[in-house]
């Protein structure tokens, strides 16, 4: 008898293009997971509309994310790749779970507090309720494991609570998911402000390495990256965050340990080091960019592939819960 593979679900919001932080922190791990697990990888377009979107840009970014997944190594023959809004069970289950969610537990979500305070003018019910949509994303696929970072642990706990509550009041319907902490997944910081995480939404484009950046753009952004006082190349995240961030990028691209990098650049300055980091990142990102451009040149193929993924998602075992 064939053993059922554990199910993993994850996705990225198409609020902009994919960046190197997505690849290093998430997608690179997904590529390995698809060989061992039953993986569902979505483009989370419904989560994007908690912020007012230009429809044409959202459609373009949605295809960009899907093409980026494949360019990074996600194989649609090994996993299910789909657009969230193309599977209506996500929103259907969201409503049912909303009716099981207390106002108190929803309002204490840290990200809701942060976003509502930072964007009081654009605060909306969607921002308040999107952790419930996230719970529906997970539960509708009976996901056993969910890759999560520190900023998503609270949302996964809400998901677990809702699954247990539903199971208690009705029947053992939902798998209660566990967090999956990837073995690797370095935190990549902004090139212009190494005290904050690199963001695809940063207003300063020099702060972010996008996966479709040209070779010259990559070199230029690395060259202009903020570093710290000092002259030696030494990893120290607390006291030298800018340099340490560049060392993390170099480590990712070359596989060298931080000790080996420090030894490699003894007696050399920031100029030589940044040049080496730039070339290493070009070597890492160029094949991804070239594959991405190839995929984006054939939107019909992408639409067909995503339609197939949506159909498979639609017939998964848990989509008849509300019938």
Residue 200 lies in a domain: no
Strand 7-12 to 178-180 pairing: unpaired
pTM equals 0.90
**pLDDT tens sequence across 265-284:** 999 999 999 999 999 999 99
Categorize the per-residue pLDDT at 1 as very low, low, confident or very high, splitting at 50, 70 and 90.
Answer: very low
Q: Are residues 92 and 151 in the same domain?
A: yes
pLDDT over 70, % of the chain: 90
Together in a domain, 256 and 116: no
Catalytic positions are 115, 197, 200
pLDDT digits (tens, 9 = 90+) for 128-170: 898 999 999 999 999 999 987 666 788 899 999 999 999 999 9
Residue 114 reports pLDDT greater than 80 = no
Q: How many CB atoms lie within 10 A of CB 229?
A: 8
Task: Looking at the structure, tell me whether residues 181 and 316 fall in a common domain.
Answer: yes
- Judge whether 195 lies within some domain: no
Q: What is the mean pLDDT of the chain?
A: 89
Residue 198 lies in a domain: no
Same domain, 180 and 210: no
Q: Which residues have CB under 8 Å from 167's CB, separation 6+?
A: 173, 174, 176
- The pLDDT of residue 294 is 97
Domain range spanning residue 137?
A: 7-186+299-320
Which of 109-118, 230-239, 265-274 is least confident? 109-118
Whole-number pLDDT of residue 2: 56
Is 191 domain-assigned? no
- The residues with which 310 forms a beta bridge, in sequence order, are none
In a domain, 192, yes or no: no
Residue 196 in any domain: the answer is: no
Distance CA 40, CA 8 (A): 6
Given a cut of 70, whether residue 315 has pLDDT beyond it is: no
């Amino acid at each position: 008898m064939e053993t059922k593979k554990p199910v993993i679900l994850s996705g990225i919001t198409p609020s902009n293009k994919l960046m190197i932080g997505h690849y290093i922190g998430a997608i690179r791990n997904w590529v390995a997971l698809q060989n061992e697990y039953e993986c569902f990888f979505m483009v989370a377009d419904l989560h994007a509309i908690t912020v007012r979107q230009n429809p044409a840009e959202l459609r373009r970014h949605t295809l960009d994310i899907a093409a980026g997944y494949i360019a990074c190594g996600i194989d649609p023959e090994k996993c299910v790749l789909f657009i969230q809004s193309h599977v209506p069970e996500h929103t259907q289950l969201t409503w049912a779970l909303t009716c099981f969610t207390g106002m108190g537990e929803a309002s204490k979500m840290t990200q809701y507090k942060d976003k509502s305070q930072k964007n009081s003018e654009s605060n909306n019910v969607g921002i308040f309720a999107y952790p419930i949509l996230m719970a529906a994303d997970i539960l509708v696929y009976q996901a056993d494991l969910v890759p999560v970072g520190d900023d998503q642990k609270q949302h996964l706990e809400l998901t677990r609570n809702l699954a247990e509550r539903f199971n208690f009041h009705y029947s053992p319907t939902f798998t209660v998911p566990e967090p999956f902490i990837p073995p690797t997944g370095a935190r990549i910081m902004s090139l212009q402000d190494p005290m904050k995480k690199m963001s695809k939404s940063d207003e300063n484009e020099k702060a972010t390495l996008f996966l479709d950046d040209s070779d010259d753009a990559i070199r230029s952004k690395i060259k202009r990256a903020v570093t710290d006082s000092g002259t030696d190349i030494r990893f120290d995240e607390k006291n030298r965050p800018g340099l340490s961030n560049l060392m993390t990028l170099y480590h990712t691209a070359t596989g060298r340990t931080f000790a080996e990098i420090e030894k490699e650049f003894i007696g050399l300055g920031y100029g030589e080091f940044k040049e080496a980091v730039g070339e290493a990142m070009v070597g890492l990102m160029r094949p991804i960019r070239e594959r991405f451009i190839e995929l984006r040149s054939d939107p019909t193929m992408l639409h067909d592939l995503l339609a197939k993924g949506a159909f498979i998602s639609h017939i998964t075992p848990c989509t008849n819960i509300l019938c």
